[in-house]
Amino acid sequence: MRNVADANLPAVVRVLVYSSDSDTRRQVIQALGKHPRPDLPPFEYLEIATAPVVVEQMDAGGIDLAVLDGEAAPAGGMGLAKQLKDELDDCPPILVLTGRADDAWLANWSRAEGTASHPIDPFQLTEAVAGVLQHRTAV
């Protein structure tokens, strides 16, 4: 199994966390923490509550991973993920938070590289993020 630390990752992983719910954003950041696994670099977070700001920040660059809440309103993370994948030439990897595990097929439609489901489970989210970051370096 490939070690994520061997991957071509930046010294600090900038993670965009989008949700219209501040509690969901807080849960994601707390679940992952500043250093989620020993084989990953430290994480730095950018919290965003609206879809237009997500598009603006992703377009500006400097984001290594986006975690988008599929349950956000009025713009859900799955539609936003699809838009970003369609519009950005070099879109960073995206992980979508689904309302339930059975909705993973929708996240696949959105072209997200990974999924995790509500309620936020720190272990599940950390493993999903590590998988997405491994996928990022494999392509």
10 Å Cβ neighbour count for 112?
28
The class level of CATH for 14-124 reads alpha beta
Residue 48 has pLDDT above 80, yes or no: yes
pLDDT tens digits, 75-104:
999 999 999 999 999 999 999 999 887 777
Q: So where are the chain's domains?
A: 14-124
pLDDT tens digits, 6-34:
557 789 999 999 999 999 999 999 999 99
Q: What is the pLDDT of residue 138?
A: 53
Residue 3 has pLDDT above 70, yes or no: no
Beta strands in 58-102 (DSSP E): 65-69, 94-98
- Cα gap 135→116, rounded to integer Å: 15
Residue 137 has pLDDT above 70, yes or no: no
Q: What is the pLDDT of residue 4?
A: 52
Mean per-residue pLDDT over the chain, rounded: 90
- Cα gap 72→66, rounded to integer Å: 14
First to last CA, the chain: 16
Q: Is the pTM of this model over 0.85?
A: yes
For the chain, percent of residues with pLDDT exceeding 70: 91
